[in-house]
Amino acid sequence: MPIQLSQCYAVSTTHEGMPYNGEGTPSTIYEGLQPFNAEETEVENFLDFDLDMNFLPSLFDLNTGIERPDNPLLAPKEPEGLAVRTPGPPTPLTPAAVAEMYNRSLSPSLEGEAMEPRQYQPSATGIDALFSFPNMEHLSTEEVDQENLAHVPEVSNIVVDQMAQLALTIETTSNFPRFVELRMPPASVINAWVQLYFEHFHPVFPFLHKPSFGTSDTHWLLMFAVSAIGAQFSELPQSQACSRAMNEIVRRSASYLCENNNQNSRELWLTQAILLNQLALRYSGERRALEIAESLQALPVTLARRKRLFTSHLPHERLYHLDLPLDQRWQIWTLDEERRRTGFAIWVSGCML
């Protein structure tokens, strides 16, 4: 049964003169660019975006922006006919410059502890250290007894044996139930289901950027998650059964990618894939899928908070007054608008629980 989402939850985020349904083009954006609540982007996501880095430094030159008071409504307008300000010398595009640009964009400034009780500072290393149990057998009874404060009954060897048995099972076998048959649909079928997603589901939840979706920069897991939802609208034989299997493999793949490289959890595409997977499982009509989705329902919100999709605004004036080609300005706008819409979609999804 296809996912049924009431039209009352449609993401209506258009602005006057701004294109809708994630289908903005450079010309329409230039003609009707309006303020938007683009959320703070994490450094890794921003730098991974396919942009010409020769023009980006001027975006982060904080001394060349439009000076204005905290209240944008009180900012004086410059008389028409004045010469456009010449940007200062480009500054190196560093992670610190990116973070500083977004930190300065808060007006008025927000207290970090009020918004984010636990500050997220990911490690600079690529992958966390591998896990290993050190040998604790050499500890003497006297050393251990110094910390045995006898608050509750002693832990028996049965507890340790049961945990060791399960750990050995996890280490030597698959962590998930095996598929009865594992066979990926042909690319042509996957493509048809992607198109069905944008035909039926995208108008209700337009948080993906349609014109740039499906390019070489689109992660394969996100495309597969999109196709799994599109399959629920398909009339092809066995499409519903295939959709259930695809949603399950998306869930397992997302877990695997995070377990094997924790940096993946910081990527926007993974947050989007998990959000789509949550919606698919939640409204599949199956008890198992619903209970799994409920046990993981806080995951999209947590990822969005870590990426700060709900906070911080990229100043509209800074983007609008950049002395850049239109297509490059459009790429910057697209990235931040997609982040903002993803955060809003996660918020709407949480309100539907």
How far is 253 from 234, CA to CA, in rounded Å?
Answer: 23
Tokens 């398909």 correspond to 234
Residue that wins the pLDDT comparison between 218 and 16: 218
On average, the pLDDT of the chain sits at: 71
Question: Which tokens belong to 209?
Answer: 């950027």
Complete DSSP assignment for 13-70: ---TT---TT---HHHHHHH-----PPPPPHHHHHHS---TTTGGGGG-TTSSPP--S
Nearest to 323 by CA among 91, 86, 102, 93: 86
Question: Do 278 and 296 meet the contact criterion of CB atoms below 8 Å apart?
Answer: yes
How is residue 178 annotated by DSSP?
P
Single pTM value for the model: 0.60
Question: What average pLDDT score do residues 211-235 get?
Answer: 90
Name the 3-class secondary structure at 337. Answer: helix
How far is 246 from 12, CA to CA, in rounded Å?
Answer: 29
Q: Classify residue 212 as exposed, middle or buried by CB count within 10 Å of its CB (0-12, 13-18, 19+).
A: middle
Would 277 be classed as within a structural domain?
yes
How far is 353 from 351, CA to CA, in rounded Å?
Answer: 6
Written as one letter, the residue type at 85 is R
Q: Indicate if the pLDDT at residue 63 is higher than 60.
A: no
Nearest to 247 by CA among 267, 218, 269, 227: 227
Tell me the percentage of the chain whose pLDDT exceeds 70: 62
How far is 334 from 53, CA to CA, in rounded Å?
Answer: 16
The residues near 255 (Cβ < 8 Å, ≥ 6 apart) are none
Q: Indicate if the pLDDT at residue 237 is higher than 50.
A: yes
Would 15 be classed as within a structural domain?
yes
Q: Which of 73-77, 218-222, 232-236, 261-265 has the lowest mean pLDDT?
A: 73-77
Could you tell me the residue range of the domain that residue 215 belongs to?
Answer: 1-66+90-110+185-353
Would 75 be classed as within a structural domain?
no
Q: Indicate if the pLDDT at residue 223 is higher than 50.
A: yes
Cα three-residue angle 268-273-277, rounded to 5 degrees: 150
Residue that wins the pLDDT comparison between 173 and 97: 173
pLDDT at 274: 94
pLDDT at 81: 45
Would 306 be classed as within a structural domain?
yes
Q: Indicate if the pLDDT at residue 309 is higher than 80.
A: yes
The residues near 227 (Cβ < 8 Å, ≥ 6 apart) are 190, 191, 193, 194, 197, 246
pLDDT at 33: 39
> What's the length of the chain?
353
Would 60 be classed as within a structural domain?
yes
Would 173 be classed as within a structural domain?
no
pLDDT at 131: 73
Nearest to 99 by CA among 47, 145, 157, 136: 47
pLDDT at 122: 57
Q: Indicate if the pLDDT at residue 312 is higher than 80.
A: no
Cα three-residue angle 74-79-80, rounded to 5 degrees: 130
Would 239 be classed as within a structural domain?
yes
Name the 3-class secondary structure at 303. Answer: helix
How is residue 124 annotated by DSSP?
S
Count structural domains, the chain. Answer: 1
Question: What average pLDDT score do residues 306-313 get?
Answer: 79
Q: Where are the beta strands (DSSP E) in the chain?
A: none
Q: Classify residue 250 as exposed, middle or buried by CB count within 10 Å of its CB (0-12, 13-18, 19+).
A: buried
Q: Which of 77-81, 118-122, 292-296 has the lowest mean pLDDT?
A: 77-81
pLDDT at 278: 92
pLDDT at 78: 46
Omega prior to 76 cis, within 30 of 0: no
Residue that wins the pLDDT comparison between 316 and 129: 316
Backbone phi, psi, residue 134, to 5°: -70, 160
pLDDT at 121: 58
pLDDT at 351: 86
Would 7 be classed as within a structural domain?
yes
Q: Indicate if the pLDDT at residue 344 is higher than 60.
A: yes
